[in-house]
Structure 1
């Protein structure tokens, strides 16, 4: 049977897998679904139309699924969806989406989310992301797979953070962060390629060389963005192993509407 502490309050309509554990004084609402193996700590509130997948670890004092901090929200049944094997540390706050966007705040799999992180309405997070303490995401932010976000980072609404990028401590992000780059500072500045992260993920020397060439085209040769994109596209033929990396970068640049950190 589900391991629910006697002091926890779980609505009878909530759907919890029999292997779920719920700690003392936690409150779980009627529209919540929790998958197998998930452990929910003490003093948590999980409400709204919230779905958690398998083997998540939710630490104490987290608030998941509350209504968005958006004055336009009028009680619509929007959602928060959290995937599998995520770690959510103390005092995190994740809100449901709004009807002005897709109606869902979505967090993928295998993410490591540290204490006091706020994920606002309609944010879309991929997989294997690390977010350090006190990171704050405004509404509609998108973060790609394997991104690393340092502590005390603030990300403005509708910004995008590319896959495999890294944002340094205390940064104010008010432009899109391209994939693979390291950024920090206020104003935001690109410092180089996330070489440490790429090597940890076993990127080949050829792929890393192509990514470094993309960095040079964007930031070291005085090219316009369109000229840099043309040079980046040509790298796919020169380094076939990096074709997917080139496509990821080109697709990100092509769809940026707020401008990239440059």
Structure 2
């Protein structure tokens, strides 16, 4: 049975699962689907087009599936999908998609800290931490297990690889490849995310292999030459293939 505060508003067309807690002054619009066991504390807004999974905690002032902040948006019928077991803290805003992709996606087991903004058509993976007041512009992709520190500004269309650590206060407009730490001003490569990789169970041998891949990649003036060096000199494990595929598919270029 759901616990819905008498001070909350739930549209009669909204679809709720079981065992949800809907606190006072929450607003749940039509064309929304909420799964089981979610806890919406006070003053949470679930807007048109939201699809929310199970076991999420959403704190005061958060607004999910907001109207995109994109002048090309003309009211098309789009979605915002949120997975399971996320902690979405105070005043987080997540926009729904536009005609470009039709959906904004946030995976599962993420921590989105206070005042984070995720714009239209972003794809945020799982097991990600995003620090206070970090902002993602439209159509940003973040792969699993990334850590984005506080007050980071990410340009539209950027791709952030998995297992990275982005220094607080950074701003960038190029892609960040997997397994690395980036920071300083302007943002640049600062080595591997050693602490994060070890916490995730990466062996010393695998970390050395990834280190050698980046040594070869950044030793050349052109990324294509660096990738060829990797292919010629290193065993192509799934981790190395991930780096190769990431760099070869980058449209904005990667940070150096």
In structure 2, how many angstroms separate the alpha carbons of the residues matched to 1:96 and 1:141? 13
* Secondary structure in structure 1 of the residue aligned to 2:132: coil
In structure 1, how many angstroms separate the alpha carbons of the residues matched to 2:68 and 2:249? 26
Match of 1:146 in 2: 145
Q: CA deviation at 1:207?
A: 1.1
Q: CA deviation at 1:30?
A: 1.0
Q: CA deviation at 1:223?
A: 4.6
Does structure 1 retain, via aligned residues, the 8 Å contact 2:224–2:248? no
Aligned ranges 1:96-245 → 2 under 5 Å:
96-99=96-99, 101-219=100-218, 221-234=219-232, 237=235, 243-245=237-239
Does structure 2 retain, via aligned residues, the 8 Å contact 1:47–1:65? yes
Does structure 2 retain, via aligned residues, the 8 Å contact 1:233–1:246? no
Structure 2 unaligned regions, length at least 5: none
Aligned ranges 1:67-78 → 2 under 5 Å:
67-78=67-78
* Secondary structure in structure 2 of the residue aligned to 1:203: coil
Does structure 2 retain, via aligned residues, the 8 Å contact 1:3–1:21? yes
In structure 1, how many angstroms separate the alpha carbons of the residues matched to 2:186 and 2:216? 21
TM-score (norm 1): 0.95
In structure 2, how many angstroms separate the alpha carbons of the residues matched to 1:252 and 1:222? 17
Q: CA deviation at 1:235?
A: 5.4
Does structure 2 retain, via aligned residues, the 8 Å contact 1:148–1:164? yes
Does structure 2 retain, via aligned residues, the 8 Å contact 1:174–1:188? no
Q: CA deviation digits over 1:136-173, x for unaligned, max 9?
A: 00000000110100100000000110111111010001
Q: CA deviation at 1:228?
A: 1.1
Q: CA deviation digits over 1:189-245, x for unaligned, max 9?
A: 1110000000000011221111111121123x34531121012224553xx6xx110
Moved beyond 4 Å, runs of 4+? none
In structure 1, how many angstroms separate the alpha carbons of the residues matched to 2:123 and 2:145? 13
One of 220, 238, 249 as aligned partner of 2:243: 249
Q: 1:235 to 1:17 in 2, by over 3 A?
A: farther
Structure 1 unaligned regions, length at least 5: none
- The alignment of Structure 1 onto Structure 2 pairs a total of residues equal to 256
Match of 2:44 in 1: 44
* Secondary structure in structure 2 of the residue aligned to 1:51: strand
In structure 1, how many angstroms separate the alpha carbons of the residues matched to 2:80 and 2:136? 15
Does structure 2 retain, via aligned residues, the 8 Å contact 1:61–1:92? yes
In structure 1, how many angstroms separate the alpha carbons of the residues matched to 2:55 and 2:233? 40
TM-score (norm 2): 0.97
